[in-house]
DNA sequence: CTGAAAGCGCTTACAG
DNA sequence: CTGAAAGCGCTTACAG
């Protein structure tokens, strides 16, 4: 049933070497020979063995996919799944398949990512960054295996990373508020030690300063990117003597939690401006539909694929790319009339 | 840098065979020898080559993941991503990694899945079923490679499949309507040639008959599972002389489209009962929050992993499993008072 | 244009 | 308890 190159060679009356050359499209094989061998391979449904090929070739055409960090970086994370999907499509065009490492057998803490990459001899890696990234990731980073990070800073010679320009994220939100005439703006961040959250918070403060808007400590809270935490954070803010009129939340889910809190308060949700971040599906459907800053997941995945591919080919070394976010305007910042023309 | 078994053997002053036995935990190696070799492997960060091991062992500890069909079965499909995530977690416990085939280089029509599985020598496969499944899938199905299908019927000797009990899906919806006193019930299905949609439609008709409820052709439409199609289908239904009072849509997205259509009509959405199917995130957040029939994605993925594992071990052969769905009651079928106690 | 032979890095009877 | 040797299925200089 399962044929080997040897058997094909015998059947065709040629050497293994010749069959191999045909498989690999060498151009120094006679046309008739080639045709004959091809016909036989076809007839017997011959397929070269991957293991044997990679052992002999030292190239695998496989990319490792690693979800780093204990929190927030899972296979089914709504943001990353889109990024990886786009990455898969693009890198697939180059003939790469994707190997997803299972981490369930180990403590993530003990995991040795470099070892596994070496074991599988992957041509390169994409590393998805979560919170509390295990140190072993940085061994991989520093190795000579090309790595592209998404939402994680990598500094190895053969590593690059890509992420949304998080300063710009906050800038888009604050500018939108500013143009709507809002001056009293609050902020709900994600986990305090999250790099993403930190960047968005810093960006928020910077742009507020740019427009000479007051950054009121009373209106600043931190959650964990999930809905419940936004609800709690907003409750906290609503307890303050003076209240904001607008709020930028570092995730749509937290924005939705905040909306719930506001609805439960004496405030009119339609008098309050809210901007979220992510543009998840639900954002379109809630009441009021949520204005949000959208990350270009498609582009991030695509760029990651291009960069990794070029690093594997040795055409480039470490590269850092920041992707521009985009503001999606919906009703949550007041009616159309109030918005800039 | 990258060590081989040969080098380790030389360093330790033993044979390759001994090192190999230590790697593979054979128990006929002297303890001192073992310790010494282990120490050296550790010191040099030695990792056995995957390609060489699989070539020699004929086992790969890798599972192939295939998205079959031209439509609806993508990496980022909201339902399947949860299933695969759960599958990954469970099968990962057994030490399997997942290889996702890229199909971007080929016409899906030309794809030879069996060939690729043989090429990689995967230990087994999970096949995610979409619409318009390519015939090549069934070559794989019929092969001696163990396959577990999700939402696709597989009939090979070494194949099994798993899906939600779609008759039960419709039964839950119709029974709920029945207990709420609804008699005029409409139905919006997915793509007409979709197996899932067919099963739900058949289930719908069966249960309607069971309760002697009239199946009115005027209230039956088909979409494509996406929101827009639900909107269009509902518009169609609303044009009919007599109108239903309740609607079961075969997906939440279509239910949301239908809600939009109803809101745009003269009808009061709160007087109309709607049940969707899937329980996507957005369902909780729309107005009114959507009652829906939920598939147990977690369980489906987990069961798929168990079945596949057992098939690989040769402990079972073809197995078919149907998973019970669950009704999630929210406000879209009237206020709490109207609902069964 | 074709082929003999070494090598890729392991595993596994088998002999001792 | 240890090791020599064959074999897994390919690729690739190299010679002709």
What CATH class is the domain B5-48? Answer: mainly alpha
Question: Closest protein residue to C13 using CA and C1' atoms?
Answer: B17
Q: How close is the nearest chain A Cα to the Cα of B29, in Å?
A: 24
pLDDT top residue among A153 and A109: A153
**Mean pLDDT computed over every residue of chain A:** 88
Q: How many beta-carbon pairs under 8 angstroms link A with B?
A: 134
Q: What's domain B62-163+297-323's superfamily in CATH?
A: Response regulator (3.40.50.2300)
Are A119 and B60 within 8 A, CB to CB?
no
Which ranges in chain A belong to alpha helices (H)?
A: 5-12, 16-23, 31-44, 50-57, 78-92, 113-120, 136-142, 166-179, 195-210, 227-238, 252-264, 281-285, 297-312
Task: Choose from B5, B46, B67, B97 for mutation: most chain A CBs within 10 A.
Answer: B97
Q: How close is the nearest chain A Cα to the Cα of B3, in Å?
A: 10
pLDDT digits (tens, 9 = 90+) for B139-156: 899 988 999 999 999 999
State, as a whole number of angstroms, the distance between the CA of B49 and the C1' of C8: 10
d(CA B174, CA B244): 13
Neighbours of B1 (CB within 10 A): 7
What is the predicted pLDDT for the residue at B69? 81
Chain B CB contacts of A91 under 8 Å are 102
- Chain D bases near protein CB atoms (7 A cut-off): 1-13
B41, pLDDT greater than 50: yes
Residue A168: C-alpha distances to residues A12, A209, B179 (Å): 63, 14, 53
State, as a whole number of angstroms, the distance between the CA of A228 and the C1' of D16: 77
Residue A145: C-alpha distances to residues A124, A139, B3, B54, B271 (Å): 6, 10, 16, 22, 61
Mean pLDDT confidence for B94-118: 74
Are B62 and A99 within 8 A, CB to CB?
yes
Radius of gyration, alpha carbons of chain B: 26
Residue B25 pLDDT grade (very low, low, confident, very high; cuts 50, 70, 90): confident
Tokens representing A149 are 């990070």
Q: How close is the nearest chain A Cα to the Cα of B313, in Å?
A: 19
What is the predicted pLDDT for the residue at B38? 84
Task: Say which residues have a Cβ less than 8 Å from residue B36's Cβ, sequence separation at least 6.
Answer: B12
What nucleotide is nearest B32 when CA is compared to C1'? D1
Chain A CB contacts of B45 under 8 Å are 115
User: Pick from A2, A51, A92: which is nearest to B51 by CB?
Assistant: A51
d(CA A119, CA A111): 13
A220, pLDDT greater than 90: yes
- Chain C bases near protein CB atoms (7 A cut-off): 1-13
Task: Choose from B75, B86, B228, B301 for mutation: most chain A CBs within 10 A.
Answer: B75
Token pair 């959208």 in the structure block, residue: A294
What nucleotide is nearest A16 when CA is compared to C1'? C3
Residue A71 pLDDT grade (very low, low, confident, very high; cuts 50, 70, 90): low
User: Pick from A55, A92, A285: which is nearest to B285 by CB?
Assistant: A285
Residue B337 pLDDT grade (very low, low, confident, very high; cuts 50, 70, 90): very low
Q: Are A163 and A195 in contact (CB under 8 A)?
A: no
pLDDT digits (tens, 9 = 90+) for B291-320: 999 999 999 999 999 999 999 888 888 899
d(CA B238, CA B263): 11
pLDDT digits (tens, 9 = 90+) for A35-64: 888 888 888 888 888 888 888 887 788 899
Are B102 and A97 within 8 A, CB to CB?
yes
Mean pLDDT confidence for B75-86: 88
pLDDT digits (tens, 9 = 90+) for A275-331: 999 898 888 888 889 999 999 999 999 999 999 999 988 888 889 999 999 999 998
Are A105 and B93 within 8 A, CB to CB?
yes
Angle at B86 between CA B248 and CA A279, to 5 degrees: 65
Q: Give the residue among A149, A242, A104 at the shortest CA–CA distance from B309.
A: A104
Domain B5-48 identical in fold to domain B166-294: no
Q: Spell out the domain ranges in chain A.
A: 5-48, 62-164+297-323, 166-294
What is the predicted pLDDT for the residue at A247? 96
Are B98 and A96 within 8 A, CB to CB?
no
Chain B CB contacts of A81 under 8 Å are 75-76, 81
pLDDT top residue among B37 and A320: A320
What nucleotide is nearest A56 when CA is compared to C1'? C8
Q: Give the residue among A239, A215, A234, A242 at the shortest CA–CA distance from A274.
A: A234
- My answer on whether omega of the bond before A288 falls inside 30° of 0, hence cis, is yes
What is the predicted pLDDT for the residue at B111? 66
State, as a whole number of angstroms, the distance between the CA of A104 and the C1' of D8: 30
User: Pick from A84, A104, A119: which is nearest to B89 by CB?
Assistant: A104
Residue A110 pLDDT grade (very low, low, confident, very high; cuts 50, 70, 90): low
Residue B171: C-alpha distances to residues A69, B182, B199, B207 (Å): 42, 14, 11, 6
- CATH 3.30.365.10 fits domain B166-294: no
State, as a whole number of angstroms, the distance between the CA of B121 and the C1' of D12: 24
Are B100 and A118 within 8 A, CB to CB?
no
d(CA A321, CA A17): 44
Dihedral, CA of residue B21, residue B27, residue B32 and residue B34, to nearest 10: 30
Q: How close is the nearest chain B Cα to the Cα of A217, in Å?
A: 30
What is the predicted pLDDT for the residue at B13? 86
pLDDT digits (tens, 9 = 90+) for A139-180: 899 988 999 999 999 999 999 999 999 999 999 999 999 999
Tokens representing A137 are 């990731």
pLDDT top residue among A56 and B209: B209
d(CA A252, CA A73): 17
Mean pLDDT confidence for A113-138: 87
Are A286 and B281 within 8 A, CB to CB?
no
pLDDT top residue among A56 and B238: B238
d(CA B121, CA B119): 5
State, as a whole number of angstroms, the distance between the CA of A20 and the C1' of D15: 18
Q: Which residue of B has its CA nearest to A62?
A: B99
Task: Say which residues have a Cβ less than 8 Å from residue B317's Cβ, sequence separation at least 6.
Answer: B157, B158, B311
Q: CATH for A62-164+297-323? A: 3.40.50.2300
Q: Which residue of B has its CA nearest to A107?
A: B93
Question: Closest protein residue to C6 using CA and C1' atoms?
Answer: A56
Phi, psi of A226 (to 5 degrees): -95, 165
**Mean pLDDT computed over every residue of chain B:** 88
Question: Closest protein residue to C8 using CA and C1' atoms?
Answer: A56
Q: Are A63 and A126 in contact (CB under 8 A)?
A: yes
User: Pick from A55, A88, A100: which is nearest to B52 by CB?
Assistant: A55
A340, pLDDT greater than 50: no
What nucleotide is nearest B20 when CA is compared to C1'? C11
Are A99 and B104 within 8 A, CB to CB?
no
Q: Give the residue among B186, B226, B214, B198 at the shortest CA–CA distance from B77.
A: B226
A337, pLDDT greater than 50: no
Q: Give the residue among B281, B289, B293, B283 at the shortest CA–CA distance from B328.
A: B293
């Amino acid at each position: 049933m399962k044929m080997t190159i040897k058997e094909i060679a015998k059947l065709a009356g040629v050497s293994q070497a010749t069959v191999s050359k045909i498989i690999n499209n060498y151009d120094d094989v006679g046309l008739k020979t080639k045709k004959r061998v091809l016909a036989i391979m076809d007839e017997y449904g011959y397929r070269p063995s991957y293991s044997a090929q990679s052992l002999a070739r030292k190239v695998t055409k496989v990319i490792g996919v690693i979800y780093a960090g204990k929190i927030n970086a899972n296979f089914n994370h709504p943001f990353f799944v889109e990024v990886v999907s786009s990455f898969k499509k693009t890198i697939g065009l180059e003939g790469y398949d994707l190997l997803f490492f299972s981490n369930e057998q180990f403590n993530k803490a003990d995991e040795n990512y470099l070892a596994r990459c070496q074991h599988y001899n992957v041509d390169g890696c994409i590393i998805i960054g979560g919170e509390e990234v295990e140190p072993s990731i940085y061994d991989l980073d520093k190795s000579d295996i090309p790595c592209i990070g998404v939402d994680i800073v990598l500094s190895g010679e053969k590593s690059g990373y890509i992420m949304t320009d998080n300063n710009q994220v906050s800038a888009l939100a604050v500018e939108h508020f500013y143009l709507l005439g809002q001056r009293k703006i609050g902020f709900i961040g994600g986990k305090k030690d999250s790099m993403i959250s930190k960047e968005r918070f810093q960006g928020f403060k910077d742009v507020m300063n740019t427009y000479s808007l007051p950054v009121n400590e009373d209106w600043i809270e931190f959650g964990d990117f999930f809905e419940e935490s936004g609800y709690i954070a907003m409750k906290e803010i609503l307890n303050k003597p003076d209240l904001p009129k607008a709020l930028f939340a570092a995730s749509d889910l937290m924005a939705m939690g905040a909306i719930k809190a506001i609805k439960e308060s004496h405030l009119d949700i339609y008098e309050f401006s809210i901007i979220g971040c992510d543009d998840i599906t639900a954002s379109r459907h809630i009441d009021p539909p949520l204005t949000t800053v959208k990350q270009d997941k498609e582009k991030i995945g695509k760029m990651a694929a291009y960069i990794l591919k070029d690093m594997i080919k040795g055409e480039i070394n470490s590269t850092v790319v920041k992707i521009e976010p985009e503001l999606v305007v919906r009703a949550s910042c007041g009616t159309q009339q109030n918005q800039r023309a």
